[in-house]
Amino acid sequence: MNRRAFISRLATLAFGAVASADNDLYKGIGGPFVGSGFTFSSKGKESYKLQDLMPTDTPSSFGKKLNIHFCFDSGAGGFYRRNLVQIKERMNVFYAKHGLSVEFFEDEKLFKGFDNFGDFGVEILKDEKSFKERKYKLTGKRATLEEHAGASSPKQRVVIVRGDVFETVSFRQTPIKGIMAAACLNVHEIFHTAGLFHPDLFIYSPIEENVDGLRNVMLSFGADKYPIVTSDSAIGADVTPRQINQFFEYLTGRESKNYKALKECGFDLSLLVQRIADVNKLERRKLK
């Protein structure tokens, strides 16, 4: 087996396992967008048009470097911590593919938030209780039932991850599965802080759910809902050019349309999605 085929096989194994019925890691990948609750949407002044939020051309000036800061809450993340080097490496490969360089940092204290548009914080929390408390402290909102593994707080550019969901026998026996899942979850939640949404929220989605044979990294449903594809991807998922342009547009800074829309929504991702749905006449899919 050549190297490409080998990596491909590994990825298939990894996501096949993630998708298995007894592994519910991905139940919570949805963050604030998951759930059947529809948010009331008054009209905003900023543009919520998809062509503004997701430009077809790459914005001319944006920060091409990301600074991703990790912080482990006390007692959190055995598996996660042991495999952090590889989790970072896979994130690095993913971002490099899309023209972004990354520098990683590790901090001692939970984050207050970041001013720089290229800076993002990833907090690994110990368990469900600390996850829920932290979510409430960051966003003022309760964690939803579906927020099982990760959530995003766009105001501070901080994402939170439950370390304990990686403590499974399956991941201990075959760490690559957990490493890919962790890297994928981090990328997914970081994209949320820039306003990226779940393609499968809408009945006729403007965003492809599969990208060159890989699942779209922003899909909200568990991987079990989708065919597991053979992949030599670093994180077993990818984004479309329009989605990456949306992230780049956000990285242009305070005048970014994505940022201004998020700000006008009080950094509430559910409200943002509702306004996007209204303005673009997209029909919301009822999530179970």
Q: Which residues lie near Zn ion (CB under 5 A)?
A: 30-31
DSSP state of 27: G
Rounded least distance, CB 150 to Zn ion, Å: 7
Q: Which residue's CB comes closest to Zn ion?
A: 31
Which residue lies nearer to Zn ion by CB, 30 or 118? Answer: 30
Nearer to Zn ion, 57 or 142 (CB): 142
Cα(272)–Cα(72) distance, integer angstroms: 30
Of 154, 132, 191, 179, residue with least CA distance to 25: 179
User: In whole angstroms, how close is the CB of 74 to Zn ion at the nearest point?
Assistant: 26
Q: Tell the smallest beta-carbon distance from residue 197 to Zn ion (Å).
A: 8
State the minimum distance, in angstroms, from the CB of residue 9 to Zn ion: 28
**Residue among 6 and 136 whose Cβ is closer to Zn ion:** 136
Long-range contacts of 87-95 (CB under 8 A, 24+ apart): 87/179, 87/182, 87/183, 87/186, 89/234, 90/179, 90/180, 90/183, 90/234, 90/235, 91/183, 91/186, 91/187, 91/234, 91/235, 92/234, 93/234, 94/183, 94/187, 94/233, 94/234, 94/235, 95/66, 95/187
DSSP label of 104: E
- In the complex with Zn ion, the residue whose CB is nearer, 31 or 195, is 31
Q: Report, in Å, the least distance between residue 85 CB and Zn ion.
A: 25
Q: Tell me 146's DSSP state.
A: T
Which CB sits closer to Zn ion, 147 or 164?
147
The sign of the dihedral angle between the CA atoms of 236, 241, 246, 249 is positive
Smallest gap from Cβ 145 to Zn ion, in A, equals 14
How many helical (H) and strand (E) elements, i.e. helices and strands, does the chain have? 10, 8
- Between 31 and 118, name the residue whose CB sits nearer to Zn ion: 31
The 10 Å Cβ neighbour count of residue 157 is: 22
